[in-house]
A and B are shown apart, each in its own frame.
Chain A
Amino acid sequence: MSESSVRPSGQTSGAPFETSSGRLRPGGRAWTRSTARAFQGAVGKMPWLTKICFLWLILVILAAALADLIPGLADPNYQGFVFGDGKTNEGPTASHWLGTDNVSRDILARLIYGARVSLIFAFSLVAAGIIIGGTLGSIAGYFRGPLETFLMALVDTWLSFPALIGLVFVTTMLGMRNLLVLVLVGSIFVWPSYTRIARATALSVSGQDFVTAARAIGTSRRQILVREIFPNVLPAMLAYSLVGLPVLIILESTLSFLGLGVEIPTASWGGMINQARQDLLINIWPAVWPAAMLFMTVYSFNNLADWVRKQAAARSAAI
């Protein structure tokens, strides 16, 4: 997704956030090649800070995805002191590069596995938002009528409901807080904002000539929705996602910090900070590292989102 997001397009009319980034092209080998070339070009044009942010994100994503394959990376839940081969609150050593926490677990391993939780949570919810919200919003914006009225009333009601409380409430009721449950319950709360954006975009896209042109060559309404509306709603969704990702990462960390995220001992940044809180005066590092990770990742996403938005604006001004 970051691939397509860094290639902003012009087509922005009416989309909230007035970005619409990402040129999605249908498959094909030529496409892969030209995308790769465009991708290189786009990265080359980034200011140095954005480049660093971009590289950082790639590093975090790769590490999280390939954590199990990293040679020599400790088990994030292994408590050495229980077996007599590790110390608690240890400083950096050759075997524990970032030291250990107050129950002697390897901090680096927990940071990497914690990234996995944050990223899976954020990306899954974004995907859910795009799929559910994009579909409902496009249908509402293109077909209009009573369905639209109903959906939008639902969205407005839903958005006025405090999502964080809802999320905590539902997970507590369920009594289960693994990642899958968090994502499923989270989806209930992300779709409305995506629906709203998709509908606004679909509404402006529907009024454009190419939709009338499609009708004038006998395209059915369903096909128009799939071929003309969706592809033009998607960039707005992706642009919004880039802004939404860091928010979701913070949400996950907040939940974990409050002890309401994934169940312990699963590593998560918020959970690590919470854990370190107890011994903060003895050893501050187990709290500093996850906080720094959180900060850098969120900052990087925001910086990149900002750059993409500027590119899209420049592009649409040029068209």
Chain B
Amino acid sequence: MAISQEPVDTSTPSESMEGSEILRVEDLHTSFFLPIGELQAVRGVSFTLKRGQSLGIVGESGSGKTVLARSIMGLTLAKHVEISGKAFFNGRDLLTLSRREMRSLWGTEIAMIFQDPMTSLNPMVKIGRQVIEHLRQHKNVDRREAKQIALDLLNEVRIPEAESRIDRLPHELSGGMRQRVSIASALACEPSLLFADEPTTALDVTVQHQILNLLSREQRQRNMTMVLVTHDLGVIAGRTDETLVMYAGKVVEQAPTAEIFDNTQHPYTEALMRSIPRTSQPSHTPLAAITGRPPVATHLPKGCAFSPRCPYVQPRCHEEDPSLVSIGTSEHKAACWYPVGSDANREAFERNLSDRLPQTLAVAEALDADQGSETSADVPDGELT
């Protein structure tokens, strides 16, 4: 666990102390240089994470979540990519480390779980061996010890009959079981920071809950720091301490998770909230999709990136890009000229309604349909086990 490198920064991280800062990302930018132009996938993201904390990163497909996570982890994304900014991990800027130095962190300090358990395990290698080889790579244990640790891990992630499954190939296991194997493999060397990039998107709903609960439990038991990436706000409800909402490569709202739900500020977060499947609704109720499409990252609109889809959009939004500023408490930040719940927001809504702006009408309709039931989104409980 100990990194015997001097911290670059003035803040001395005291490694073992609970609540000390483990990751600080400052103004991170990632751009791809494509034949059609520059694609700004991440545009100035900053956040801080304390040891043992969990952070949820939420946003639609293409908002830059994966690129952000991979940029921080230093996993090469593509050839023509440019990353700028800082990402301090225990005081060391990850973006300045050599590949060798990064490799010494990967697996033992920082690990990642991928979206699709169908593709994140080697199809030609037995699952037990995948975990065992990982262990032996970093720990000075012999084959038998490694096998025992692997078995314990597979039991810990609740793979039934781990002894017999250890000799199976990935395709002989269900998706949920495979993801448990990936988790076991990621946890094998006790990383202090775990990125989980949409770890349940490829799984069906009942399995999703089990896997998320497993991750939360491991995260708390191991006092591990976790970044949980998802496009579904419902996934992080009750599971993460902090939430970061991303849109078109930028953070548009950032707050403690409960605060995001109780006191939504950004129109995009509000829209995401409306698209969470609700337990109180009869099943098969169509989800309120967000009108329009996310912008193409090579051709971002002028001003606020959400303006073409925002129900509260005003002329100012087309001109000036709002920056992320504290709203109410210092812990709650949002980037919007007309934050949800403000008087200015209500006026903007009325004005757009009388102008018959399509996305505003769509929202009004959804609200009408909701009359009678409570207006604030009720979120499925993230029952923790």
Interface residues of A (CB under 8 A from B): 9-11, 23-26, 28, 30-31, 208-210, 212-220, 223, 227-228, 231-232, 234-235, 319
Establish whether residues B114 and A217, one from each chain, have CB atoms under 8 Å apart when the complex forms: no
| Contacting residues, chain A, for B106 (C-beta < 8 A) | 215-218
| Contacting residues, chain B, for A11 (C-beta < 8 A) | 123-124
Q: How far is the CA of A223 from the CA of B137 in the complex (A)?
A: 10
Interface residue from B108, B115, B129 paired with A218 (Cβ < 8 Å):
B108
Establish whether residues B119 and A208, one from each chain, have CB atoms under 8 Å apart when the complex forms: yes
List residues of B (164-206) whose CB comes within 8 Å of A's CBs. 167, 169, 171, 182, 185-186, 188-189
Interface residue from B115, B126, B167, B185 paired with A217 (Cβ < 8 Å):
B185
Establish whether residues A25 and B138, one from each chain, have CB atoms under 8 Å apart when the complex forms: no
Which residue of A is nearest B129, CB measured?
A26
Establish whether residues A217 and B186, one from each chain, have CB atoms under 8 Å apart when the complex forms: yes
A234-B124, A319-B171 given. 20 additional CB < 8 A pairs? Answer: A9-B124, A11-B123, A23-B169, A25-B126, A26-B125, A26-B126, A30-B167, A31-B167, A209-B114, A209-B116, A216-B75, A217-B186, A218-B104, A218-B105, A218-B106, A220-B103, A227-B133, A231-B125, A232-B122, A232-B124
A217-B137, A319-B171 given; A232·B123 CB < 8 A: yes
17 pairs across A/B with beta carbons < 8 Å?
A10-B123, A26-B126, A28-B167, A210-B120, A210-B122, A210-B123, A213-B182, A215-B106, A217-B106, A217-B188, A217-B189, A218-B103, A218-B108, A219-B107, A228-B122, A235-B124, A319-B118
| Contacting residues, chain B, for A31 (C-beta < 8 A) | 167
The 3 closest A-B pairs by CB, nearest first: A217-B107, A218-B107, A218-B106
Q: How far is the CA of A274 from the CA of B5 in the complex (A)?
A: 77
**Shortest Cβ gap from B346 to chain A (Å):** 46
**Shortest Cβ gap from A233 to chain B (Å):** 10
Most chain B CB within 10 A, of A23, A24, A28, A212, is at: A212
Which residue of A is nearest B106, CB measured?
A218
Q: How far is the CA of A216 from the CA of B108 in the complex (A)?
A: 10
**Shortest Cβ gap from B149 to chain A (Å):** 15
| Contacting residues, chain A, for B104 (C-beta < 8 A) | 218
Interface residue from B124, B129, B138 paired with A23 (Cβ < 8 Å):
B124
Establish whether residues B116 and A219, one from each chain, have CB atoms under 8 Å apart when the complex forms: no
List residues of B (80-109) whose CB comes within 8 Å of A's CBs. 103-108
Which residue of B is nearest A210, CB measured?
B122
Most chain B CB within 10 A, of A214, A215, A218, A231, is at: A218
B134 at interface (Cβ–Cβ under 8 A)? yes
Q: How far is the CA of A9 from the CA of B186 in the complex (A)?
A: 26
B41 at interface (Cβ–Cβ under 8 A)? no
Establish whether residues B137 and A218, one from each chain, have CB atoms under 8 Å apart when the complex forms: yes
B112 at interface (Cβ–Cβ under 8 A)? yes
Q: How far is the CA of A217 from the CA of B186 in the complex (A)?
A: 7
Q: How far is the CA of A31 from the CA of B125 in the complex (A)?
A: 12
B73 at interface (Cβ–Cβ under 8 A)? yes
Which residue of B is nearest A233, CB measured?
B124
Establish whether residues A213 and B167, one from each chain, have CB atoms under 8 Å apart when the complex forms: no
Which residue of B is nearest A223, CB measured?
B137
Establish whether residues A212 and B114, one from each chain, have CB atoms under 8 Å apart when the complex forms: yes
Which residue of A is nearest B123, CB measured?
A11
| Contacting residues, chain A, for B137 (C-beta < 8 A) | 217-219, 223
Establish whether residues B73 and A9, one from each chain, have CB atoms under 8 Å apart when the complex forms: no
| Contacting residues, chain B, for A208 (C-beta < 8 A) | 119
| Contacting residues, chain A, for B182 (C-beta < 8 A) | 213
